[in-house]
Amino acid sequence: MRFSRVAWVVVAALTVGVFVSGLPSEFARLRTPCDDAVSCAWLPRLTTETARQFVDLGLSADYFAVYFIALEVAFTVMSFAIGAVIVWRKPRDRTALVVSLMLVTWGAAFFVPYPLLDLSPLWTFSAQTVSFVGSVLLILFLYLFPNGRFEPGWTRWPAAVWVAGFIPANYFYDSAIRVFDYPLLNTLAVICFVGVTAYAQVYRYRRVSTPVQRLQTRWVVFGIVAALGGVCVLVVLDLIVPGEVLASLFGSTALFLFAFLIPLSIGVAVLRYRLFDIDALINRTLVYGSLTVTLATVYLGSVVATQFLFRTFTGQEQQPQLAVVVSTLAIATLFNPLRHRIQNIIDRRFYRRKYDAARTLSAYSARLRDETDLEQLNAELLAVVRMTMQPEHATLWLREREIET
């Protein structure tokens, strides 16, 4: 274990050195419009069109670069801090060491494209090594978390294949990038990776994991799914308002903010802090996420409809103030009824047992006010307990009170 801790310190120090040395080149990359498919594929990115729109808004490309450098630094610092806390709290847990070092190396390389940066040969090799170590640890995390074993056992072989594939991807980037010239091959590789990884986690969750390990898995899945929500925001904005600089800026910011949930959820899962709050958190996320999307759709629809009706009946130009007022009033009126409706739908669909238990208790409370037969009341009480709590055995005992004479 002493060797593991020494290795952790060495790799962490190398990661910090690579990240800091790459900041000047990353700043230059962000402030320069991308001019080829590879550089424009990285996020965030500045194109010639968005750079022109920045100038029209009275801003410069330096603002874009400084803004996203700050986000990259914040993401890296937070990932490093969570990784340090994990290794400090669980220094003898090998799985915790793997997760901790994965957060440190992966956090520093998640948004920074080291292959595109202009670094010295020494720092280039160091950056390649850090990226390779982070990629390997990410694979190990996906296949070993949370119990530290390959489940099922044969998954160690596809994990070894993915690890081997990261060698050319990190050390021979110019040759590896040519894989993108074969979209069918690239798509098949992604499908195989996602499919095998998902199967391994589902198998582990259903057949191997303990209740606590299942909660840990749900925390990690929550963080990953939430991060994918940031990707969805960016994609939707690009489809709705393609090439619009403010929409791109907002979407890229959302991607960063949602990505912050990945190291946070992993930290909570490994440290097992307030694990039992995850169901309530998922419930609230489903409710308010659906509510936000619905209200945003209603708002945009009401703005367009109000403007259309105003032009139709008056023949005048658009009146955005009137549209905004009407839409805001509609949102304020719909908020609570719509929230309760969405809550009921989600409870029925995803939390059926909890929803049925609540309905059973509500119905029993209503009958309790009118029931006078003690035997019938006792039978109904036992039935409610069996239905809601689902115990192995339930018995009702009533203490007899002595009557004073």
Q: Is 405 a member of any domain?
A: no
Q: Is 220 a member of any domain?
A: no
Residues 344 and 363 in one domain: no
Average pLDDT, the chain: 76
Residues 301 and 188 in one domain: no
| Highest-pLDDT range among 41-45, 155-159, 216-220, 351-355 | 155-159
> 209: which DSSP letter?
-
Q: Is 228 a member of any domain?
A: no
* Confidence band for 399, pLDDT divided at 50, 70 and 90: low
Task: Report, in angstroms and rounded to the nearest whole number, the Rg of the chain calculated over CA atoms.
Answer: 28
Residues 319 and 371 in one domain: no
Residues 72 and 170 in one domain: yes
* Count of the separate structural domains present in the chain: 3
Residues 322 and 205 in one domain: no
Of 39-48, 320-329, 365-374, the one with minimum mean pLDDT is 365-374
Q: Is 244 a member of any domain?
A: no
Residues 340 and 369 in one domain: no
In whole angstroms, give the CA distance from residue 219 to residue 275: 8
Structure tokens at 216: 């840990």
Of 191, 209, 227, the position where a domain reaches its end is 209
Residue 405 has pLDDT above 50, yes or no: no
* Confidence band for 41, pLDDT divided at 50, 70 and 90: confident
Residues 154 and 186 in one domain: yes
Of 165, 189, 209, the position where a domain reaches its end is 209
Q: What is the mean pLDDT of residues 133-161?
A: 87
Residues 83 and 160 in one domain: yes
- Whose CA is closest to 204, among 249, 155, 151? 151
Q: Is 56 a member of any domain?
A: yes
Q: Is 276 a member of any domain?
A: no
Q: Is 278 a member of any domain?
A: no
Residue 131 has pLDDT above 80, yes or no: yes
Residues contacting residue 136 through CB under 8 Å, at least 6 positions apart: 163, 166
Residues 305 and 201 in one domain: no
Residues 38 and 157 in one domain: yes
In whole angstroms, give the CA distance from residue 232 to residue 119: 33
Q: What is the pLDDT of residue 115?
A: 82
Residues 93 and 184 in one domain: yes
Residues 202 and 318 in one domain: no
Residue 80 has pLDDT above 70, yes or no: yes
Q: What is the mean pLDDT of residues 98-126?
A: 86
Residue 380 has pLDDT above 80, yes or no: no
Range of the domain at 29: 2-209
Residue 392 has pLDDT above 70, yes or no: no
Q: What is the pLDDT of residue 327?
A: 67
The reported pTM is 0.68
Residues contacting residue 18 through CB under 8 Å, at least 6 positions apart: 108, 114, 123, 126, 127, 130
Q: Is 115 a member of any domain?
A: yes
What tens digit of pLDDT does each residue of 215-256 get? 888 888 888 888 877 777 777 777 666 667 777 788 788 888
